[in-house]
Structure 1
């Protein structure tokens, strides 16, 4: 185990082993069979199809066989506080979701969508991925950075919460999609993921914000759990309820962690974007351990480990904590070497747009550096500095999750991996060995 393991983590892990079922770290395929060790959550982006990514690539890369959950990003929240599907720039994309005919060459099973088929597109491909991989489930992730604007309104009152939750279950779980036969979309999703960024503010400047958002978030999660359980009883199954939660401690402290934890299957900790090109000096995107030499003004000495310890101290059981990892990185240019190969140095600005997926960063010029003490990797070529997670580091992060009794790992996003699924394979290695 890492030498920086804290007493808090060790105690919390011991407590989890005492109170949690012996199989808590095992994923199941829905028929009671043991599957992969730990939860392995990967985000599939709705818009990825427009840059050549597809559900078939999740299959052919080997990602699908090593994942337990796909989070489909994203579902939107309307101004009247409901889940909805509607066409329009910045509003939704039902064409990508379930209207686009997928050809045989792009289909998971090699069978093209039929003209008369009710549900096509990404949703039908998710069904095919699950059919080919019995351990795999899919959930609809609601919100994200862009579509969290009206969460506060949806969560504001008992009536608005009931209305919102009912609309989401009707649309995504009962499968009552606009323009198709009622119920035609059933079976695509196995649960709901809430990605409200963020209760109490700090997200997109246009978001509706209330001081009571943190408490209303708890009440919203309770309403989701209540309605999901009621639906599950009638369907004789369990529906997942998860949420993505912030790394920033100020934002995290607005949440009533013990109460929320009782409602969810797990929380996906967004333990990345600790630093980035919104800062002028180079720093780590997602280092595992804190570095006392970190000179940053904001998020000074932040780390994934620090975020985990913060949530555990606030009452999140380890077996309900999922460690987030990035499949992308941030880059600066005009960076002098200093004494740490470009780390903690000034820059002239972002490099190549500021961020890139792993599948591009890996082929950039430069030397990869690995700070084993703090669990961080970067690439530096004498002027460009890229902070990103290599496969070696991702294996170590997955081992960290395993060693500390966490529920597993979550990755943003699958389309940033390479064609061989190297990053998902690295996480699998860390959780399996």
Structure 2
């Protein structure tokens, strides 16, 4: 038939539908509408998959339903950018926020599959009940955009995901470190020129000290005294030496907030080096909270900060030093801070991601304390690194487990699920991303699990390097457990890339988490490659 004949018949069908009141549904595969599967990373016991729905027709789509079958021994572990039901090996995925597809446009959803044995792709793909191929068959039902076949309708016992938060509603936060203004030459102005500020909701300023049971300034020169001339300031005006004038990073943050009125800055206290003071602080939590409030709301910079963050590494457990203040200490501390700071200011906390049985999450009452925080920053990085000088090599920020992981439970999903099982609301959890890599030297094996002779050389410290350096000096050549690794010469590195960050943001949405954060800004490229991927993945 000619193209004219097809159009003529189509018009007749449409007129008939109008007269008879029959709903006309576009063919799934016919008319250039298709669904295509692609496979991402594979860690031996699971993989990341993706279906892309392409609208090659001339009509807009307002919804989609994709069905497929998994082989025996495989099952869906999580799915994002959509909702799903599973009945045995049959999976039905539907749009959540991304149902509208303009002519020529695409939509997609991603998912993780766990499997045993060897990898096999999904089979039996159906798009709106018809073929997933662009030239395929018309859906069997003309009254619904999804299959009405009883064999594909999941029973009431099927597992169903919750719809993720709407796009734009997820938090993005990044750490600015005050010592970055020295050797790293990273200043508040760089947050603006890199495009990072426009992609953030929150900045955590790190770190204030915790000493003698009180909050204290970390570096007075860098924080509020360093002079910035017009060329190095955010707003193009020079600091002054007038008595009482605010300078340093605090003043630059003030200028940044004027450019971005919705941006909020949180003062973070503690960190790896200064966490030893929290035990004493918890012993008189009210006095501690008062000291923190007086510092955060000091009249010289009261308009700069919108809240406080506590980075205690770790309550009732060991970090650089060991704390024995008891499992209730964190809750006591955060309750006092919430009482003093009130509901109008933010109270957050960075917390461990140790999901092992009897590990750091089990050592403190994170669930009980969660009622007093706006959210937790879960530090889902630094699981493995060159401090284990002989290896085995392992990704420092795995999203999931994988065959050969050195410590069971040392991966992001383990921590998230443990916190949720204890009663911490999912929307109060932010997933952490490292803007740096960790690595070993003396390695001869490209795949994870190799032996080493020590930490790899780094610009500032052995065993650690910025992403902006590694992307060129040792480009990624593999992925495992949702993150990337690189083998070059005899060095082995693991780090996140824009691609793996995008996958992690899919996980954030699939789990209904509150958003994501990263440590820290100096590791990104000058044009903000990683923050662009993080923010884009949350949209």
* TM-score band, normalised by shorter chain: 0.7 to 0.9
Conserved? CA contact 1:274–1:286, under 8 Å: yes
The structure carrying a bigger helix percent of its residues is 1
Whether 1:354 and 2:470 are equivalent positions in the alignment is no
Partner of 2:293: 169
Conserved? CA contact 1:13–1:405, under 8 Å: no
Distance 1:52 1:320 in 2: 33
Q: Structure 2: any 5+ residue segments left out of the alignment?
A: 1-47, 50-75, 80-84, 86-111, 113-157
1:64-103 aligned within 5 A: 64-79=197-212, 81-85=213-217, 92-103=218-229
Within the candidate set 121, 128, 131, 2:248 is matched to 121
Conserved? CA contact 1:291–1:301, under 8 Å: no
Distance 2:339 2:175 in 1: 25
1:309-348 aligned within 5 A: 309-337=417-445, 341-348=446-453
Distance 2:475 2:394 in 1: 17
Distance 1:416 1:39 in 2: 20
Q: How many residues align?
A: 379
Whether 1:398 and 2:505 are equivalent positions in the alignment is yes
| TM-score (normalizing by structure 2) | 0.67
Partner of 1:370: 479
Distance 1:346 1:162 in 2: 49
Partner of 1:106: 232
Which of the pair has more CA radius of gyration? Answer: 2
Distance 2:209 2:432 in 1: 22
Conserved? CA contact 1:25–1:39, under 8 Å: no
Whether 1:149 and 2:255 are equivalent positions in the alignment is no
Secondary structure of the 2:537 match is helix
1:15-414 aligned within 5 A: 36-50=168-182, 51-79=184-212, 81-85=213-217, 92-116=218-242, 118-156=245-283, 160-172=284-296, 174-175=297-298, 183-205=299-321, 209-212=323-326, 214-229=327-342, 238-249=344-355, 250-279=359-388, 280-281=390-391, 282-294=393-405, 296=406, 299-300=407-408, 302-337=410-445, 341-352=446-457, 353-371=462-480, 374-414=481-521
Distance 2:159 2:513 in 1: 13
Conserved? CA contact 1:13–1:318, under 8 Å: no
Distance 2:287 2:235 in 1: 37
In the TM superposition, what is the alpha-carbon distance from 1:135 to its structure 2 partner? 2.1
In the TM superposition, what is the alpha-carbon distance from 1:12 to its structure 2 partner? 11
**CA RMSD, 1 decimal:** 2.2
The structure carrying a bigger strand percent of its residues is 2
In the TM superposition, what is the alpha-carbon distance from 1:272 to its structure 2 partner? 0.5
Q: Structure 1: any 5+ residue segments left out of the alignment?
A: 18-23, 27-35, 86-91, 176-182, 233-237
Conserved? CA contact 2:78–2:510, under 8 Å: no
Distance 2:238 2:417 in 1: 48
Conserved? CA contact 2:78–2:507, under 8 Å: no
Distance 2:347 2:160 in 1: 23
In the TM superposition, what is the alpha-carbon distance from 1:11 to its structure 2 partner? 8.2
Deviations 1:79-131 (A, max 9, x none): 2x11123xxxxxx3100000111111211111111111521101111111111
Distance 1:154 1:11 in 2: 45
In the TM superposition, what is the alpha-carbon distance from 1:357 to its structure 2 partner? 0.9
Task: Decide whether aligned partners of structure 1 residues 61 and 53 sit closer, same or farther in structure 2, where only a CA change above 3 A counts.
Answer: same
Task: Decide whether aligned partners of structure 1 residues 13 and 148 sit closer, same or farther in structure 2, where only a CA change above 3 A counts.
Answer: farther
Conserved? CA contact 1:12–1:317, under 8 Å: no
Secondary structure of the 1:346 match is coil
User: Which fold has the larger relative contact order, with Cα–Cα distance below 8 Å and residues 6 or more apart in sequence?
Assistant: 1
Distance 2:209 2:424 in 1: 27
Distance 2:532 2:408 in 1: 31
Conserved? CA contact 1:165–1:224, under 8 Å: yes
